[in-house]
Amino acid sequence: MPGVVIRRYSPPDMAELFTDVSRLETWLEVELLAVEGLAGIGRIPPGDAAAVRRRAPKVDDAFVADVEARERVTDHDVAAFVDVVQARIGGPEASWIHYGLTSSDVVDTAQCATLARAADLLISAAGGLVAALRARAEELIDVPVAGRTHGMQAEPTTFGAKFALWALQADRDRQRLRRARRAVAVGKLSGAVGTYSNVDPAVEAHVCQALGLRPVPATQVIARDRHAEYLYACASAGATVELIATEVRLLARSEVGEVEEPFASEQKGSSAMPHKRNPVLSERLCGLARLLRGYATTGLENVALWHERDISHSSVERVALPDASLLTCYVLRKATALVSGLVVHADRARANISDLVFSQSVLLALVDAGLTRDDAYRIVQRDAHAASAAGRRFEDVLAADADVPLDARTLGAVFDLDRVLRHRRRVLEALDALEALDALEVVDALDGTEVVDALDGTEVVDALDGTGADDAGDGAASGGQAAPGTKRARP
């Protein structure tokens, strides 16, 4: 079975990464590369390494079954795997399999290679969501809707502004996923406690280079804060999807009716009530986001292991890492479809805007007319409540109030929707800058080097947000000297 999540929520391309066949294929590749690394440093004859590669078994369902059968004897999955591989290769050359290695050299390095591939799919899916949100933001920037705080109408905004803010947040998730990919795209083949006691560091370097990973210092295992960062990035992406889906659910209520989920011609909203057009996709996405937050918690709990390792993290990761990867991919892609197909009822949204949303504009107009802020506030509050209770237009109540020193022209300007939304396109400028400082460019600048204290993580985040870019640019412009506090990556 692919992955761990039920098939309903398993995108096939992501699920393929987490099949037993794929897992053991990657284990085998680590083992074969390690043998070739030994040959490369002259530790074993090159001919032996070539024979091992040539006679390496094909990993298929039959191979997986053999490993599982052997594990019932060894009660150790990696030991069972090594036994089966050596038996399939045969001859004295087979003894070089797993030479000088410990189980986590194979498992952790292979798992990180898989997570890097999974992260590539997630980054692509996040990019799809950003693009869809940006397109809807530009399409709907001039479509007004009531902005709501505490569930109550506050001031006007536009649908485009909503989508633009979601796009910016989804892009931050994409950046987090990129950083998480860098965190997990590492490997280690340094032995039982990470001291290279029985394996040359050059073997580790060879294996990691071939797999597109960076060798990192480790104990017996790669530090689990890296995996926790990956799971947090997944949970954060899920939280953004939940934010969007929650808004859809609220605006789709019968009493509001400002949006509707896409609905196919043969789709049924209820088994009992034919009129129903429930926001079921949005509800599903909100539910799955809860699972992702749970996996983030388990990732943090896996960080603290005993001494140089225990395996309390192992059982958790067999579920959490595939599940989180599959679910994140699923929710990002489904959210993209939701955003692209969302039906916006612009007329209903405009009709729903209460004229009470102009209360702050009235307040400021009264202050401009010479009233104290508190006096103005009490007048506006009194008239707003009266208009609401009587079902009258707020503007009419104000016009009839002798305490309101505003003529009809001034009042008309106060209630001008275009005036309060005159800066609505400003948020689109932020969308234009989404790729101005791409996270991948930061990785390229680091040249794949693991930098400790040479590039502070907070400054990377600041640079990605654009807040530190100007300082860095000023330093370069003034003769190439970095600004105070600016860190440089190693060459």
Average pLDDT, the chain: 89
pLDDT at 266: 77
Q: Are 116 and 186 in contact (CB under 8 A)?
A: no
How far are the Cα atoms of 95, 204, 221, 235, 355 from residue 112, in angstroms, in the given order? 26, 14, 11, 18, 56
Q: Which residues contact 144 (CB under 8 A, 6 or more apart)?
A: 156, 157, 158, 159, 349, 350, 353, 417, 421
- For the chain, the domains span 1-99, 102-197+212-351, 354-426, 436-491
Whether 76 is catalytic is no
Whether 150 is catalytic is yes
pLDDT digits (tens, 9 = 90+) for 57-83: 999 999 999 999 999 999 999 999 999
pLDDT at 438: 52
What is the DSSP secondary-structure string of 36-48?
A: HHHHHTTSS-HHH
Q: What CATH class has 354-426?
A: mainly alpha
Please measure the distance between the N-terminal and C-terminal CA atoms of the chain and give it in whole angstroms: 45
Of the residues 197, 270, 388, 478, only one is catalytic, namely 270
The neighbouring-strand residues paired with 157 are 145
272: confidence class by pLDDT, cuts 50, 70, 90 = confident
The verdict on domain 1-99 having CATH code 1.10.275.10 is yes
Q: What CATH class has 102-197+212-351?
A: mainly alpha
Lowest mean pLDDT among 12-26, 58-72, 471-485: 471-485
Structure tokens at 335: 């959210």
> Which residue in 300, 306, 410, 431 sits closest to 362, CA to CA?
410
Distance of alpha carbon 257 from alpha carbon 18, whole angstroms: 42
274: confidence class by pLDDT, cuts 50, 70, 90 = confident
CA Rg value for the chain: 30
Distance of alpha carbon 491 from alpha carbon 489, whole angstroms: 6
Q: Which residues contact 276 (CB under 8 A, 6 or more apart)?
A: 269, 270
4: confidence class by pLDDT, cuts 50, 70, 90 = low
Distance of alpha carbon 24 from alpha carbon 30, whole angstroms: 10
Q: What is this structure's pTM? A: 0.87
Strand, coil or helix: 214 = strand
